[in-house]
Amino acid sequence: MNIHDYLIETGNYPNLVGFNYLIRAVEIVQERGKIKLCQDLYPMIAKEYKTSATKVERAIRHILTNKIKIKDYQRIGINKRPTAGEFIYYFATIKGEKYGK
């Protein structure tokens, strides 16, 4: 399962601002490899979406802390609420292969 499917399955939909930011963050990390979130990744996404890096970070954090429940993280093998970086790198490195149908 990929990041898009996981977000939908956990009750997050494309109308949430952070939804598209998270998907784009995973894509960028898949393309470029390890990247600093606050210094590089968030500003890249902000530029693409014509917003600020702070708003990108806040929107992503909102989904990860308020919209996804602990049991949903446990289903994919994450036993605690991950940081944004941990979550992004998790999906970027598995590329949807480990979590699946």
What pLDDT score was predicted for residue 100? 35
What pLDDT score was predicted for residue 65? 93
Residue at 99 is within a domain: no
> pLDDT tens across 32-63, in order?
999 999 999 999 999 999 999 999 999 999 99
Domain total for the chain? 1
> pLDDT tens across 54-95, in order?
999 999 999 999 999 999 999 998 999 999 999 999 999 875
What pLDDT score was predicted for residue 87? 95
Distances (CA, A) of 85 to 1, 12, 15, 91, 97: 19, 19, 22, 10, 19
Q: Domain containing 85 — which CATH number?
A: 1.10.10.10
Residue range(s) defining the domain that contains residue 23: 3-94
Residue at 88 is within a domain: yes
Residue at 19 is within a domain: yes
Residue at 101 is within a domain: no
Q: In angstroms, how far apart are the furthest CA atoms of the chain? A: 37
Residue at 30 is within a domain: yes
What pLDDT score was predicted for residue 1? 73
Residue 2 has pLDDT above 70, yes or no: yes
Q: What is the 3-state secondary structure (H, E, C) of 4-63?
A: HHHHHHCCCCCCCHHHHHHHHHHHHHHHHCCCCHHHHHHHHHHHHHCCCHHHHHHHHHHH
Residue 13 has pLDDT above 80, yes or no: yes
96 pLDDT band (50/70/90 cuts)?
A: very low
